[in-house]
Amino acid sequence: MKKLITFTTLCVACLLENTAFSQQALWNNSDIISPQINDDNTVTFRIQAPKASKVEIQGDFILPHKAETPDGTFNVARTAELKEGKDGIWEYTSDKLPSELYSYSFIVNGQKMNDPNNVYQVRDVASISSIFLIDNGVADNYMVQDVPHGNLSKIWYASPTLGMRQRRMTVYTPAGYDTGNKKYPVLYLLHGAGGDENSWSELGRAAQILDNLIAQGKAKPMIVVMPNGNASQQAAPGIAPNSMVKPVLMLPKMMEGSIEKAFPDVMKYVEKHYRTLKNKGGRAICGLSMGGFQSLYISARYPDKFDYVGLFSAAINKQSKGENDDVYDNLDTKLATQFKNAPKLYWIGIGKDDFLYKDNASFRKKLDEKEYPYTYMETEGGHIWRNWRTYLTTFTQKLFK
Amino acid sequence: MKKLITFTTLCVACLLENTAFSQQALWNNSDIISPQINDDNTVTFRIQAPKASKVEIQGDFILPHKAETPDGTFNVARTAELKEGKDGIWEYTSDKLPSELYSYSFIVNGQKMNDPNNVYQVRDVASISSIFLIDNGVADNYMVQDVPHGNLSKIWYASPTLGMRQRRMTVYTPAGYDTGNKKYPVLYLLHGAGGDENSWSELGRAAQILDNLIAQGKAKPMIVVMPNGNASQQAAPGIAPNSMVKPVLMLPKMMEGSIEKAFPDVMKYVEKHYRTLKNKGGRAICGLSMGGFQSLYISARYPDKFDYVGLFSAAINKQSKGENDDVYDNLDTKLATQFKNAPKLYWIGIGKDDFLYKDNASFRKKLDEKEYPYTYMETEGGHIWRNWRTYLTTFTQKLFK
């Protein structure tokens, strides 16, 4: 190791002589570990903030609790306070946490920031959060396990229907795809408003979920196609020309029919460039929120194409009027046609607290009245990724069987 | 747009009723724009920090300047101060900046943090920085332009030499690859210590550089393979099992010959699964720092394989002793063999302030004495990504011609 030590010593020397910016930021000098997942599934968070007078943590694992206010009264807090220790290092240890993927931020003297010692982050629209996973439960499927991994590709395809020479999609091919000649079924997996072709593989852990379920024999090996569902976008923010701007939730041409009409462009590319099963039994479509809405209307528009349809917290009835009203008009007639030769699985999942719960209940009532068969899953919580990962994990186990 | 407005209104309602964590973090409520690149190439940075008494910015575009200290003396500062304006929003506008990819952080009351309004970040080992690009110069090649884009894939391959069933590499296939039957030359592009298979496509902007140079006719269409060069790793932190820990600079089995010996595993996969030119004239290898060192020894070990070799700030003479000394022993003899049928291009680039400058000068002296032909580029600055992007831009234009 002598030479390695020399190399390291030289790097340190060069960093001391210069700022971190004048040489490569070779490493983060801090040896603080945060988050530290303890054996009992409590989690310890640390941040060095020697000049701070108050450090808090905010996260989806901090339950609301009563907190004293400066005037002596109590209110409901959704943060926890860290305590200052040696060298200005503040620390907080959580309760024992059930298995899940969690996200959090620190609040240092009122200023929200990510954990500087945790490089694992996710972006949701314009917000970036620090994340961690607790194992021994649902999150085992979201973690990278020692199982065969599928490949994940960022692919550019042409969408003449949208008038775009290039649009981007994420494609997961299961382990074994590149060594065999087998044909695979395809799941089209659609994101919500504010999302893009990266959302399901990043926030949704789609590659990990598929790797793990396939390795356990719980899901069939399948290709998963995650297109960009924003008709005005070529690709995720920063990936198309002039798009390195602050991401926004609502974009032009959302839920006005363009994506549904252009969907054959996606399928055409996929079925030409991948070894796919080109029949109804070999295709599934599902999505969250806006993507659930799109799955509803795409599968109704092309009733002979998809034998598996999944609506995850679907944004039912949120279409806007415009040039493509034919996509949304006469839904009852379209559903009648679709269910005449019913899909093998029409799956609906929603959280009890979801702001779209009522619209989904009305839609289910419509299906019930017509006696159209569907499978329903109701979970705790609202319009959150925690539910969508659960729905993907559940739905994919029912496909292509 | 009526229905869209309804959807947005509902979302706002649900966010007000709940915390941002109890429903999807649908958007960042802040309408602060930072960084804002102005028409004259100054850049305005903003952060809302109503409780702060001092807000600074640190970045590779902030030149060292004299700053007053509390005791009235002056020292050299590498930060600039933001000024507080309305609503606790602090602001700073930079000088006019030449075209480049820049990185920066804020320092709020002494606490370093990323720009919460900028979702564009890069990770370098365990540090994450906010980034932006200024156009009309070198960074035009680093930006996403309206040109045909190549696909970028994360591929798992077997490395029996390293005893690993799965290792990960990033593969860029140029625009047109998936629509034709042509065979392509391959550039193997290696990262440095602390890096991984993601470094060149993220910090190095390799896909953008290749897209742009190919579109301009300045580089030949080529496949670019970016393997993981850490023999103890399957993949980047967070992507292999049990690897979601703080990334470190130095790992076991670095620069001790394993990667050089296992390199044929990478080539075997690539030449089997892609339409490649399988001759010396169709292969190039280059890398930065540790990757430059590896490029030197891989090309010397397999002298009939690479007609183009690039050493970017190469970590010359940094091998450690061990089982694989044969990789590093007898370099002079190996170079004699390699240069008997000399590569078409042996390219060396380094910055004047690089801590590896002297070792590179000694190596060049060796080549000079033997009259082995090589091309040399010396730039300003040190061991930094700014230089490595320049070297990649320069080197790739000389390949396969």
Q: What is the pLDDT of residues A131-163, one digit of tens each?
A: 999 999 999 999 999 999 999 999 999 999 999
| A11 to B317: CB separation less than 8 angstroms, yes or no | no
List, in order, residues 6 or more apart from A187 with CB less than 8 Å away.
A222, A223, A224, A225, A284, A285, A286, A308, A396, A399
Per DSSP, the residues of A26-81 read ---------SEE-TTS-EEEEEE-TT-S-EEEEETTS--EEEE-TTS-EEEE-EEE
Q: Count how many Cα atoms sit within 13 Å of the Cα of residue B184 in the half-sphere of its side chain.
A: 27
Report which of A199, A357, A316, A326 is spatially closest to residue A256, judged by C-alpha positions.
A326
Q: Does A232 touch chain B (CB under 8 A)?
A: no
| A151 to B146: CB separation less than 8 angstroms, yes or no | no
Per DSSP, the residues of A308-352 read EEEEES--TT----STTGGGTTTHHHHHHHHHHT--SEEEEEEET
Q: How far apart are CA B60 and CA A23, in angstroms?
A: 10
Q: How far apart are CA B77 and CA B97, in angstroms?
A: 19
In a mutagenesis test of the A interface, which of B90, B119, B389 is the best target, namely the one with the most A β-carbons within 10 Å? B119
Q: How far apart are CA A221 and CA A177, in angstroms?
A: 9
Q: Does B177 touch chain A (CB under 8 A)?
A: no
Q: How far apart are CA B44 and CA B93, in angstroms?
A: 4
Report which of A331, A239, A349, A236 is spatially closest to residue A287, judged by C-alpha positions.
A349
Search chain A and give the residue with CA nearest B244: A120
Q: Are B244 and B237 in contact (CB under 8 A)?
A: yes
In a mutagenesis test of the B interface, which of A5, A16, A21, A84 is the best target, namely the one with the most B β-carbons within 10 Å? A21
Q: How far apart are CA A106 and CA A57, in angstroms?
A: 4
The SS3 call for residue A124 is strand
Report how far Cα A30 is from the mean position of its chain's Cα atoms: 30
| A26 to B50: CB separation less than 8 angstroms, yes or no | no
| A318 to B50: CB separation less than 8 angstroms, yes or no | no
Q: Do domains A15-136 and A151-396 have the same CATH topology?
A: no
The SS3 call for residue A273 is helix
Q: How far apart are CA A70 and CA A213, in angstroms?
A: 50
Task: Please provide residue A279's backbone torsions phi and psi, each rounded to the nearest 5 degrees.
Answer: -140, 170
Q: State how beta strands A375-379 and A36-37 pair.
A: unpaired
| A385 to B24: CB separation less than 8 angstroms, yes or no | yes
- The pLDDT assigned to A292 comes to 98
Q: Which amino acid is at B10?
A: L
| B153 to A148: CB separation less than 8 angstroms, yes or no | no
| A241 to B19: CB separation less than 8 angstroms, yes or no | no
Q: Would you identify the CATH topology of the domain A15-136?
A: Immunoglobulin-like (2.60.40)
Q: Are B374 and B367 in contact (CB under 8 A)?
A: yes
pLDDT interval class at A8 (50, 70, 90):
low
- The pLDDT assigned to B1 comes to 39
- The pLDDT assigned to B65 comes to 78
Q: Are B23 and B14 in contact (CB under 8 A)?
A: yes
The tokens for B292 are 């430059």
The SS3 call for residue A153 is strand
Ranges assigned E (strand) in A60-175: 65-68, 74-77, 79-81, 83-84, 89-93, 100-108, 111-113, 121-124, 127-134, 151-159, 164-173
Search chain B and give the residue with CA nearest A48: B111
The ipTM value here is 0.93
Q: Which amino acid is at A18?
A: N
Q: Where are the domains of chain B?
A: 1-28, 31-132, 151-396
| B7 to A238: CB separation less than 8 angstroms, yes or no | no
Task: Please provide residue A392's backbone torsions phi and psi, each rounded to the nearest 5 degrees.
Answer: -65, -45
Q: How far apart are CA A246 and CA A127, in angstroms?
A: 10
Search chain A and give the residue with CA nearest B315: A7
- The pLDDT assigned to B29 comes to 54
Q: How far apart are CA B320 and CA B257, in angstroms?
A: 8
What's the whole-number mean pLDDT along residues A261-274? 98
Cα four-point dihedral sign A200, A205, A208, A210: negative
The tokens for B363 are 């190596």
Contacts of A174 in chain B (CB under 8 A): none
List, in order, residues 6 or more apart from B63 with CB less than 8 Å away.
B78
- The pLDDT assigned to A29 comes to 54
Burial of B377 (C-beta count, 10 Å sphere; 0-12/13-18/19+):
middle
Task: Please provide residue A202's backbone torsions phi and psi, each rounded to the nearest 5 degrees.
Answer: -100, -75
Q: Are B369 and B397 in contact (CB under 8 A)?
A: no
- The pLDDT assigned to A72 comes to 77
Report which of A45, A143, A123, A385 is spatially closest to residue B21, judged by C-alpha positions.
A385
* CA–CA min distance B118, chain A (Å): 7
The pTM of the full predicted model, rounded to 2 decimals, is 0.94
Burial of B215 (C-beta count, 10 Å sphere; 0-12/13-18/19+):
middle
Contacts of A78 in chain B (CB under 8 A): 19, 21
pLDDT above 60 for A26? no
Burial of A394 (C-beta count, 10 Å sphere; 0-12/13-18/19+):
middle
Q: Does A251 touch chain B (CB under 8 A)?
A: no
* Chain A with chain B: Cβ pairs closer than 8 A: 283
Q: Which CATH class is domain B151-396?
A: alpha beta
The stretches in chain B having pLDDT less than 70 are 1-29
Q: Does B264 touch chain A (CB under 8 A)?
A: no
Q: How far apart are CA B256 and CA B265, in angstroms?
A: 17
The SS3 call for residue A256 is coil
| B6 to A128: CB separation less than 8 angstroms, yes or no | no
Report which of B181, B268, B177, B270 is spatially closest to residue B220, judged by C-alpha positions.
B177
Give the one of A21, A119, A289 whose C-beta lies nearest to B126's C-beta: A119
The tokens for A73 are 């009264």
Search chain A and give the residue with CA nearest B61: A21
Per-residue pLDDT tens over the stretch A73-123: 777 778 999 999 999 999 999 999 999 999 999 999 999 999 999 999 999
Task: Domain B31-132: give its CATH superfamily.
Answer: Immunoglobulins (2.60.40.10)
Per-residue pLDDT tens over the stretch B76-89: 778 999 999 999 99
What angle (nearest 5°) sits at the alpha carbon of residue A288, between those of residues A282 and A294? Answer: 65
What angle (nearest 5°) sits at the alpha carbon of residue A122, between those of residues B33 and B34? Answer: 10
Largest CA distance in chain B: 77
| A23 to B382: CB separation less than 8 angstroms, yes or no | yes
Q: Does A272 touch chain B (CB under 8 A)?
A: no
Report which of B50, B53, B70 is spatially closest to residue B109, judged by C-alpha positions.
B53
